Structures are given as C-alpha cells and as structure tokens.
Amino acid sequence: MNRKLKIFILTFLISISAAGRSITIDKHAVVSRNNPHVTSVDSLSSLSVGNGGFAFTVDATGLQSFPEKYSKGIPLGTMSDWGWHSFDNPNGYKFEETLRNYDFGRGRLEPYAVQIKDNARQKAACNWYRVNAHRLHLGVVGLELGNDIHQIKSIDETLDMYRGVINSKFKYKGKAYHVSTVCDPVSDRIASDIVSDGKITVKFRFPYPSGGHSDDACNWTSDNLHSTVLVKNSANRAILKRTIGKTVYYVTINWQGNAKLRERSRNYYVLDSDGKELSFTCLFSEKETTSCSMTFNHIKTAADKYWQGYWTKGAIADFSQCKAAQAKEMERRVVLSQYLLAIQDCGDTPPQETGLTYNSWYGKFHLEMILWHQAQFALWGHPEMLDRSLSWYFKVEDKAREIARRQGFKGVRWMKMTDPSGDEAPSDVGSFLIWQQPHLIYLAELLYRANHSKAVLKKYARLVEETAEFMADFAQYDSVGNRYVLRGCIAAQETLPASTTVNPPFELSYWHFALQIAQSWRERLGKDRNAHWDDIISKISPLADKDGLYLAAETQPDTYSNERMYSDHPAVLGAVGVLPFNSHQVDIAKMKKTEQWIWKNWKWDTTWGWDYPMMAMCAARMGEPDKAVSALLMKQQKNTYLVSGHNYQDDRLRLYLPGNGGLLMSVAMMCAGWDGSTTANIGFPNDGNWNVKWEGLKPLP
C-alpha cells in the first residue's frame, strides 16, 4: 500500500471516529438562526439580558414599561445574587423553634426543621423562616408611556444572543421607538439606547418586597415602608439610595443627552429627555459607587466581546443537517437554554428554579436542583461558570456540618431549600431529602474531568471527603441481610413519607456512584481508599423489584397498584442514565420493563421539566435512542419551551430552569456519550435522520 493511500485511509477513519465533532461549525449561524423574535404583546414572551449573577427582563418595548401587565407571565424582573431582604422579627423567633425530633431507628432522636402546625408560636416561627430571607426586585426601569398597552403596535423585537443585545422596534400612539438594551458582563448594570420621534421619558420605579411564595416580588401598595432618596445629582449622573428596613443598596444612573432626573412620587423617579435620542446606564450595587461613568456604547462593546467569547469558547450542537422534522425544534431549545443558563445560573450562589426572573419559593434556591441547573456548564465547555457557584459551598460548610452534628451524623449534610447565608428553610419535604448530598461530589468530578486540573482536586477535596463521610454514616448496616440500607428520608419521588421509606432506587444508585467517585479522589491525592466506604460500595442494597418492575422504594410493594405511587418524578429511571449502569444494583432487563410501564402509565401532568431529560438519559444508556429523542420532545405541558426558550410548567411556574439544564445535560450525553462508549451520537437514532454535528462536548461518567 503506497503512502498516499495510507494517509487517505487514516484520514477517512479519523473522520468517521470523529463524526459529530466537526471543527467547521459556524457557531454564529447556529446561534443567530435561533434568536427569539417577538411581534406581539404576550406576557409569556419576555426576553432577558444578564451576566450570570444579575438579570434584567423586558417586555415588547425593550425595557420594563408595563410590569403589571406581565406579572402573571414571565415577569419583568431585575434580580441579583446579592439582592436579599428580611422582614423584621419583632417576636424574636429562633430557628430552634422550627425543629422537631424524629426517630428513624438509629438509636437516637434526630431534629429536623419542619413546618410545625400544632403550636401557634412554632407555626409562626416556621413561616417566618420560610419567607425570610427573600430575593428582591431591585427596581423597574422602563419607558413612561402610559397605561394602555394595546397602543403598542408594529412590534419587531429580537434578542441577538451572539452579542447579548435586545433590539426592539414598535410604535406607541403612532410614534416610532427603537430601543436597544444590553447588560454589563462584569457589573450589575444595564444600558439602553432609545431613539424616537415621540417623547422619551424613562421611569425608575421601586417596589416593596412582597414576601410571596411565587410572584414578581413586587408590592406596589406599601410606599410608606421603604424609601428612595436622591443622594447625588449632576448634569448627567444621579445616585439613588434605597432603604428597605435594614437593607440598603444604591442605583447609579448615567445618561448621554439633554435630560433631567426628577422625583415623580415616593419611590418613583423619571428621566425626561428633550431630544430624539437618549442613552443611559443604570447600575445596581450594594455600596455607593465612585467609579467612572460608563456609556451605553462602553457596555454594548463589552457585552459584544463577552458573548462572542462565550459562544466561541463553548461547545455547540448543529442540527441543520438532520432530516428529522423535530431537529429544528431540538436545536432551538438547546441554543436558547445555553443562553438562558449563562445569564441566570452562574453567579456567586446556586440559582433558584426561576433564576433571576421572578421569585419561586420566596427566591430561595434548592440544592437538589443544582445538578440539573449546572452540570451542563462543565459538559458544554464552561467549567469556570460551574466553579463560580460551586464555590459557595465553602461559605456554608460550617452550617452544613452543624446540621449533620445535631442529627448525630459525621461529615456535612447539605441543606435543601436555602439562601446565600446557608440557613435552612423549614420544610416537611425538603428537610428529609438526601439526593442533594452526592451532587457536590458529582459536580466536583465533572469540574475535574473538564481539564483534569490538580487545582480542582485540591480545592474541593475537603468538601468531597466530608460529603462522603455523611453519606457513609447515613447508610445503615443491616446485619440480617449483610447489606447497607437507606432509611429515614424522602426520595426524589416526593410522594413517599420519610417515616416508612427504605431504599429508594435513585438514591441507592447515587450512594454507590458517589462513594466510588470519592474513593477515586482519595487515590488521585495519594491517599489510601477508605475501607468503610468500600464495604458500603460492595454491600449496598440492590434496587428492590416486584414482578420484574423496580419499586419506588423497597417499602412500597404497591408501587404499580397505587396511583399515588406513579405520580411526581419517575425517579427510578435516574438510577440508570443520570448515573452509570452498575450490575451490582441494577438489571437492565428489569429497568427496561420498568421504563416501558412508566411510558404507558405515568401521570404526566404531575411531572416536572427535568423528568424528560432524565428519561432520555435512561433510554440512551439502555440503547434506546428513539426513546431518548422522544422523551426530550414529548408533547406534554411540562415539556413546553416558550419563544424565549423558557421551560413552561404551569400557571405558578411559567419558567423552570432545571428543565433547560437537564436538556443540555442529556443532549451532551446523547452526542458525546459516557465513559466506555465508542459510538458517535450514541443517544440519537442511527437512521440517517439525526446527523448531529457538534464540537467541544464532554462525555458523562
């Protein structure tokens, strides 16, 4: 064989092995063809700009001109990682008043923070700690146009995701407006340029916090309970001081053009322009700033550079060569999810389920959701974004250690529903969940695998070790069965009570997986394996089944005859898919049979957005790519993706970022596979219809 032929064959083989990993993908084209385009007033079509720890959501005018009209849709939020508030506590409630003792057969009483209802004072204390702290809406910035939203005509609004700018054109009462809005990538500042042949007036309106469970965080009827004071005012710059009880922050406005800021009423200011163009910036900050003025052009240039860098550095998936009719929609969901998670999910704290758009669960975040939100950053070429929020765990380590100590366990027990302080929110469900515990280990492992960094090992080694210490101590040894069991917990499928639940399947597999990873970390750091952990790994209970179907828990033999048992999350499927298959605990034939039953019988209206990616990952691991695709595109309300890319759930949760993150996690796996897989695009049907091109994706464990 001559040399040229050898080179040709080698090149051909390499091209086959690298199928789906094209290095010639036009990223700008992939992103741009999926830019959201809005042509009508629709409260579910809001668009956002942001930088990961701060986000600003606008209506069809390109600013927050009609916040009340959008409050029941995708609200017009201005939210940050640092913007939190607590109502006064005049009755002196103490966190200890939220605790109640439980006996889970471990020879001791364990105190958990729950929603106590049989004692009036304790009930009030529990409610106070659930509501406080809550996330703030920092302020509405919009055009002063009047109250008649129906006067907005000829709407042409586009979010340019490749440059991070929203361009809005419309007419209001016959006057044309062109508004461009961007967000500073390094500070909590928005910038806007407005051109119009009508009057240009920008409003800065500030609400009192509502303290609501799921709302836009705006109380517009309590102006006397907070204040907005103009502390500095010059020709082109003003600083407002916001005071809400003990919470203080500042709003700095800079503008270019002939305009004046005036107080319209309490907590309500307007910037009146005399010209046909007004550009301004608005910075929200915890402290009064003395930084130099920033113009709209400065911020627009910085945003342009940042977003082009984001897309250039990160992974991409191109579905344009797919013949399948659903491929275009799949690509749209993927690209929009990449943008949404970058603007709302990579700040200094874990994200809440509705991100920085509006409050759910009082603005608190849920640590059992962090895997769904943020695993994708490590898989899609942005591990630094995961590292930013994962570092928050160090700040709350002492509180997590105290939770474990008071319940009699070693190590650290990560809280479920919490805020930047790490305080627990009392919950009859959340305080008993355990599947948030191994997330720290899984995410740290993904960070390490992103570039095999020794710095990552050194940084997170202590947290991995202490997280595993709790997990090992939580697993109880059953001498009769010579096995380890998990009890005294609520499963990811939250229909099961803590008092009777033993061995939920996803948690069993997660314990096995995470302890193995923790052992690998010890070995990478030159330490001996932990003998107790190895004993648990070898003896942890297999998944319980009945008639060849895996049960929701070992203690739920009625799983398939009790309707309550096949609602909520079909979490049993997470035991294979989210996690690698392990033959010690799982039989693939039984899992496939279980999966088939779930597809046929599950109550889909009770599911959540991340259930569909979880099902897709399970199908992919079991060699069912057709089902993997069908799961991601299943026509169910909770699997709806709006024009902005937000995963709609219901009237309460009009957006749900764990669904977006789960989608990206599953597509990464379906393209790049997992450890030991050798087939390109293993999670897509090999029928010529799903020729997905991609680059930069990382495989799962």
Three state DSSP letters for 326-366: CHHHHHHHHHHHHHHHHHHCCCCCCCCCCCCCCEEHHHCEE
Lowest mean pLDDT, pick from 52-61, 330-339, 400-409, 553-562? 553-562
Question: What φ, ψ does residue 461 adopt, rounded to 5°?
Answer: -55, -45
What integer is the mean pLDDT of 186-198? 97
Residue 23 confidence (pLDDT): 55
Only one residue has tokens 């060699």, namely 623
Cα dist from 564 to 497, 558, 590, 667, whole Å: 12, 10, 22, 31
pLDDT class for 452, splitting at 50, 70, 90? very high
Segment 269-280, tens digit of pLDDT: 999 999 999 999
Does residue 19 have a pLDDT over 90? no
The total of other beta-carbon atoms located within 10 Å of residue 6's CB is 10
Half-sphere exposure of 443 (CA within 13 A, CB side): 33
Q: What's the predicted TM-score (pTM) here? A: 0.95
13 vs 192, more confident: 192
Q: Which residue's structure tokens are 């923790």?
A: 518
- DSSP annotation of 552 reads S
What are the chain's domains? 40-85+136-311 (2.70.98.50)
Structure tokens at 392: 């928050």
Crossing angle for the helix pair 531-539 and 505-524, to the nearest 10 degrees: 150
Alpha helices in 540-624 (DSSP H): 588-601, 611-621
Q: How many helices (H) and strands (E) does the chain have?
A: 18, 32
Residue 408 has φ and ψ, to the nearest 5°, of 90, 20
70: tokens are 């959008």
Contacts of 608 (CB under 8 A, 6+ apart): 568, 569, 638, 649, 656, 658, 659
Q: Which residue has the tokens 């390499």?
A: 14
What are 395-404's pLDDT values in tens digits? 999 999 999 9
On the question of pLDDT at 99 being above 90, the answer is yes
As a whole-number percent, the residues of the chain with pLDDT over 90 amount to 94
606-631 per-position pLDDT tens digit? 999 999 999 999 999 999 999 999 99
For 495-532, give one letter per residue: b (16+ CB within 10 A) or e: bbebeebbbbbbbbbbbbbbbbbbbbbbeeeeeeebee
CA 643 to the chain's CA centroid: 18
Query: Is 68 exposed, middle or buried (CB count within 10 Å of its CB: 0-12, 13-18, 19+)?
Result: middle
9: pLDDT confidence band, cut at 50, 70 and 90?
very low
Nearest to 489 by CA among 498, 478, 476: 498
Please determine, for residue 257, whether its predicted confidence score (pLDDT) is greater than 90: no
Distance of alpha carbon 653 from alpha carbon 638, whole angstroms: 10
Average pLDDT over residues 23-39: 95
Note the Cα 321 to chain centre separation in Å.
Answer: 30
- What letter would DSSP give residue 450? H
Tokens of 7: 């080179």
Dihedral of the CA atoms 386, 389, 394, 396 (nearest 10)? Answer: -140
CA dihedral (492, 495, 497, 498) in degrees, to 10, reads 10
pLDDT of the residue at 8:
40
3-state secondary structure of 439: helix
- Asked if pLDDT for residue 47 goes beyond 90, the answer is yes
Mean pLDDT of 104-131: 97
Give me the pLDDT at residue 292, please.
67
